[in-house]
Amino acid sequence: MNPAKDDDRMARLRWRCRRGMLELDLILARFLDTEYAQLTPRERESFDALLQLGDATLLALLEGRQPSERFAPLIERLRRC
């Protein structure tokens, strides 16, 4: 592993976690700081895909207003965080 490359990757990921809604910023930043390192490669891919969603969709998933089988385990981890 290359620490500089990992730092760059995390910086880019942290930037992608910055959203237009403060609620999402707080949830995603906390998750990144406390849980992301423990994710499997497959879970990291799922997190990446989740970050590609729009803010309204992502918030609806996190609030339980929109179900998603694809993201269910990850959403549950985000909620617990």
Q: For tokens 């990144």, name the residue.
A: 32
- Has residue 3 got a pLDDT over 90? no
- Has residue 66 got a pLDDT over 90? yes
Write the CATH number for 67.
Answer: 1.10.150.250
Q: What is the domain range of residue 33?
A: 3-80
Which string of DSSP letters, residue by residue, matches the chain? --HHHHHHHHHHHHHHH--SSHHHHHHHHHHHHHTGGG--HHHHHHHHHHHTS-HHHHHHHHHTSS--TTTHHHHHHHHH-
Domain total in the chain: 1
Q: For tokens 């998750």, name the residue.
A: 31
Distance, in Å, from the CA atom of 35 to the CA atom of 32, rounded to the nearest integer, reads: 6
Whether pTM exceeds 0.95 = no
pLDDT digits (tens, 9 = 90+) for 17-43: 999 999 999 999 999 999 999 999 999
Pairwise pLDDT comparison (9 vs 59), residue with the higher score: 59
